[in-house]
Amino acid sequence: MIDQIRLSQQAKDQLTQLKRKTKLTHFNEICRWAFCLSLAEVSAPSVKNLRSDSPLEMSWRVFGGKYQDIYLALLKQRCFNDSLALDPETLAEQLKLHLHRGIGYLAADIELKNISHLLKKISAGCN
């Protein structure tokens, strides 16, 4: 099972910027949005060696909150769809890749200026 999630310094900087813009109070809230945004992307995230060089770390329980079982099921289904193994190492790596990709998408969106823009972006992607 996934115990801890450690992000890169770049992701931490992007999350700090997103936190200011959206006024969301916790990094894990933004990470959940970013994770789902990445999962909605048709292509698999690029496999790259992401450095866990920031002090930002959260437990799986903090990331998932009361919906941690749903997030795990979504991750497993995505790994299955992408013909990947469902072992703990692969799940942890794919979670990290999806988080980084989703955070990057959110940070690069110049129209994202507050929480209402985030909600519009997410609802537009669901149609």
pTM: predicted TM-score of the whole model, two decimal places: 0.89
Would you state the pLDDT for residue 127? 45
Question: What is the number of other CB atoms lying within 10 angstroms of the CB of residue 67?
Answer: 12
SS3 124: helix
Residue 126, φ and ψ in degrees, nearest 5 = -90, -10
N residues, the chain? 127
- Taking the chain (127 residues) in runs of 10, the rounded mean pLDDT of each run is 88 93 90 93 85 82 95 97 96 94 91 77 60
State the Cα–Cα distance between residues 81 and 126, nearest whole angstrom.
19
Task: Show the domains of the chain with their CATH numbers.
Answer: 4-125 (1.10.1220.160)
Residue 57, φ and ψ in degrees, nearest 5 = -145, 140
Would you state the pLDDT for residue 124? 66
